[in-house]
Structure 1
Amino acid sequence: MLTTVRAAMRRPGGARRLVDALLVDLRVVGFFDGVPEQRGNVLAAQRAFSRRGWMLDDDGHLSPVGMIDLATGGREALEEQLDRLRRATDDPGQLLGSAKDLLEAVAKFVLEEVGMPVAGNPSFNHLWHLARERLGILPEQVAADTPGAKHIKAVLQSSWKIAEQVNELRCVQGAGHGRTLPTGVTAEMALLMVREACSVAEFTLTTLHRLYGR
């Protein structure tokens, strides 16, 4: 194995194909089948990939962590990242950053799909306000005579607070890979926020599909 890794370092252009092939072999022999004896090794591999900016899921599939390329991936890239985050359990600090990136990409995707791409480098809050406005999911857009209007408004406001706080926590953490959780945020709390952020992203995408068929 060490000889193989050294060969990959000499030829970085083919390193990803090599790593993918090695992971296929490990999946074939059952390395990722949840065998208790292998769990420590799987976690060690996940931590090692995470430090390099990659996410190795519990099924042995590798994917980059970070910004989503909407130009080449579109809705499919968002769905893949959403699915990975929903299933992931390792490195909550890293996952918080990925959740923020997902939420920002969802807002940009919505605005592009409704014909309102935003130029420049708008803030996270501005992007999400515009996206929610276009989808009619701002609390103030709920008609007062709607049955349960008070509760619907509260839920919509709560969903935005989740997105807002994930973004702010991400800023507290800093920009680099291998970042740690802010003081006072447990791994369980971080994972809760990641899963809730996924729910917000999914709700936004399904609303877009219902209204625009996209």
Structure 2
Amino acid sequence: MTKKVPLTDEIVFTVADLVDDAQQPTREPSHSEIEFQINRYNLQKGDPRSQGLTVGKAKRIRAVLSWAMETDHEAGEKLVASLISLIKARGGFRETSKNYVGKEAIINAQVAFKEEGFDLSKEGDLRVLVLDNLSDLEKEDALRAYIRRAKKGAEDAALLAGTGKDLLEAVSAFILTKLWGDYPQTSNFPTLLGQTFTALGLITSKQNNNQSNRKAHQRFEASLYELGCSVNMLRNKEGTGHGRPFLPTLTEGEAKAAVESMGMISEFLMNKLKNVQ
């Protein structure tokens, strides 16, 4: 079970539906259990009940998560993951349980999470989608979900779980496989990214044409290639034991800029792929 998951409007609504018991006898988790999780991530200011309002569970969760989206996105992501774990622990995903949330609510949540690159099983296990197990269309959707998270600076989008690849590596491998049928798995990163640029008809900084004669868009493309290589060099390939994808010498601001750069370059390449297929 992951410790945090994407926080989007659709996920807010579907998670709220998972705790909604307004149309039936009360089921767990209780308000007090939900409150414990809210307080755990210091999101009390977004809780209507902390302001003396009486609201149901679904409205309460919608309010807190919507508030988190605006004020503390990471805390909101952690709360979502904890709520899924809590609902599972109370039997919410088990059809024989009195706390079962219902098939439709589960399916809606599965769709919302899948669009963000996560798999929610019918048993309530929430995990990052493993790209190797997906079809081409599903893989493209998952990569675009990672890209959206990377553009927001989410570090967990930089290094793809279960693959050993960072986002730019995975995008390059996907594009070359689509265009060439395979990709050179033993190539170093600059070569892999360079081949991706070439396959898409883009200029890299390694090409020997007279740089002073390059058009503005070619200089832009070459700069993106160089930026991609630079970000890859910041990869923490040894690991810190805490899952941080970048070297420990980087500040939080530098790491955020690095992962946002990965997202921006990856999106640029994926969009270019549409034009050459």
Alpha-carbon distance between aligned partners in 1 of 2:244 and 2:80, rounded to the nearest angstrom = 15
Matched, 1:34 2:99: no
Matched, 1:69 2:132: yes
Alpha-carbon distance between aligned partners in 1 of 2:139 and 2:218, rounded to the nearest angstrom = 30
Change (3 A) 1:96 1:70: same
Larger RCO, structure (CA 8 Å, separation 6 or more):
1
Is the CA contact (8 Å cut-off) linking 2:146 and 2:157 kept in structure 1? no
* Counterpart for residue 226 of structure 2: 161
The one-letter amino acid paired with 1:113 is K
Give the alignment's Cα RMSD to 1 decimal. Answer: 4.3
Displacement of 1:195 after TM fit? 1.4
1:36-185, aligned counterparts within 5 Å? Answer: 39=72, 42=76, 45=79, 63=118, 64=127, 68-69=131-132, 71-72=134-135, 73-89=138-154, 92=155, 94-98=156-160, 101-139=166-204, 149-171=214-236, 174=239, 177-179=242-244, 181-185=246-250
Matched, 1:188 2:253: yes
Displacement of 1:201 after TM fit? 0.8
Alpha-carbon distance between aligned partners in 2 of 1:157 and 1:198, rounded to the nearest angstrom = 17
Displacement of 1:115 after TM fit? 2.3
Alpha-carbon distance between aligned partners in 2 of 1:113 and 1:74, rounded to the nearest angstrom = 11
* Corresponding residue SS for 1:185: coil
Larger radius of gyration: 2
Superposed CA deviations along residues 152-199 of structure 1, whole A, max 9, x for unmatched, are 343222211221122221135627553375354221221112112111
Displacement of 1:203 after TM fit? 1.0
Alpha-carbon distance between aligned partners in 1 of 2:117 and 2:199, rounded to the nearest angstrom = 35
Change (3 A) 1:22 1:34: closer
Alpha-carbon distance between aligned partners in 2 of 1:66 and 1:171, rounded to the nearest angstrom = 22
Q: Normalising by structure 1, report the TM-score.
A: 0.62
* Counterpart for residue 198 of structure 1: 263
Alpha-carbon distance between aligned partners in 2 of 1:211 and 1:128, rounded to the nearest angstrom = 17
Change (3 A) 1:173 1:162: farther
Name the structure with the higher helix share: 1
The one-letter amino acid paired with 1:84 is R
The one-letter amino acid paired with 2:131 is I
Is the CA contact (8 Å cut-off) linking 2:236 and 2:246 kept in structure 1? no
Q: Identity of aligned pairs, percent?
A: 21
Which deviates the most, 124-133 or 79-88? 79-88
Alpha-carbon distance between aligned partners in 2 of 1:66 and 1:164, rounded to the nearest angstrom = 26
Superposed CA deviations along residues 67-104 of structure 1, whole A, max 9, x for unmatched, are 63374332112111111222355xx4x45435962211
Residue segments in structure 2 that go unaligned for 5+ positions in a row? 2-13, 20-33, 35-56, 83-111, 119-126
* Corresponding residue SS for 2:187: coil
Change (3 A) 1:82 1:181: closer
Is the CA contact (8 Å cut-off) linking 1:173 and 1:180 kept in structure 2? no
